[in-house]
Amino acid sequence: METPAAPRDVFRPPASARIFILNDHEPVRRSLRDLLENDGFAVAGESGSAAEARRLIPGLSPDLAVLDDRLPDGTGIEVCRDLRATAPAVKSLILTSWDEQHAARATVLAGASGYLLKQVRDHTELLNRIRRAAAGDTLFTSEIRDRVAESLYAASSASWLKSLTDMERKILAFMARGLTNRQIGQEMRLPEDAVIVSVSSVLQKLGFRRRDPLIPFPIPRAWDVVS
């Protein structure tokens, strides 16, 4: 991935936002780091491991974490959900190669500010999205987020999701409503560790650890708004 100089027409923020990069491919991390630094951002840290990112990010306190969708030891969704408990001030973006619809689901399930598509070559748009998220903006309109959440909530009771246990269906419904792992544990009277394991299982069964999603299209027509 070749990194060009930052576009000249990109607005430079008066204060440098601090970004953490989580991606298991070192060339991709280097390319993104160069792009960000050329544009005036500060890279607070980086990692190729979900477990390491969970340890590092709370102490580094970046403004924004850019989290890869799939990692050898987890997903950016899981890391984001953990950060909402351990470092709630840190905003997150999911960096993904999924299509827009699947990326939108991932964002809602993670509780992230939005997503970045890996295949997008418009660096101006990418940098603007990172800048907005670091400043605290949500990159979804509330209408789109609500419609995606409705679709996920509907999926939590769909008969064709036979692989989900009853507990996992309940957890998916709570995830769609935006609850953190800790809040789900309180609602279901489960230890947070048990919720984390179940969240991981739900994501596996829904295809978020696979190249292709398992959920068939369409889940009610709410998906049309993010096409």
How many CB atoms neighbour CB 186 within 10 A?
Answer: 13
Q: Mark whether 163 and 105 lie in a shared domain.
A: no
User: Contact at 8 Å (CB) between 46 and 58?
Assistant: no
Number of domains, the chain:
2
Domain around 190? 143-226
Q: Mark whether 50 and 111 lie in a shared domain.
A: yes
Closest CA to 166 of 188, 143, 145: 188
Residue 12 included in any domain:
no
CA angle 119, 200, 223 (to 5 degrees): 50
The residue among 140, 172, 189 that closes a domain is: 140
166/19 Cα distance (integer angstroms): 38
Q: Mark whether 80 and 148 lie in a shared domain.
A: no
Residue 10 included in any domain:
no
Angle between helix axes 100-110 and 76-86 (nearest 10 degrees) is 30
Q: Mark whether 159 and 107 lie in a shared domain.
A: no
Per-residue pLDDT of the chain (227 residues; tens, 9 = 90+): 444 444 444 444 445 899 999 999 999 999 999 999 999 999 999 999 999 999 999 999 999 999 999 899 999 999 999 999 999 999 999 999 888 888 899 999 999 999 999 887 788 989 999 999 999 999 988 888 888 888 888 888 877 678 889 999 999 999 999 999 999 999 999 999 999 999 999 998 888 876 555 555 444 443 333 33
**26 Cβ contact list (under 8 Å, min separation 6):** 48
Q: Mark whether 154 and 212 lie in a shared domain.
A: yes
Q: Mark whether 110 and 162 lie in a shared domain.
A: no
Q: Mark whether 26 and 114 lie in a shared domain.
A: yes
The SS3 of residue 154 is helix
The residue among 108, 140, 172 that closes a domain is: 140
Residue 206 included in any domain:
yes
User: Contact at 8 Å (CB) between 49 and 24?
Assistant: yes
Any idea what the CATH number is for the domain that residue 99 is in?
A: 3.40.50.2300
Residue 72 included in any domain:
yes
The residue among 140, 164, 187 that closes a domain is: 140
205/23 Cα distance (integer angstroms): 23
Tell me phi and psi for residue 105, to 5 degrees: -60, -45
Residues in the chain, overall count: 227
Q: Which two tokens stand for residue 16?
A: 């440098």
The pairing of strands 18-22 and 64-68 is parallel
Residue 83 included in any domain:
yes
pLDDT score, position 94 = 96
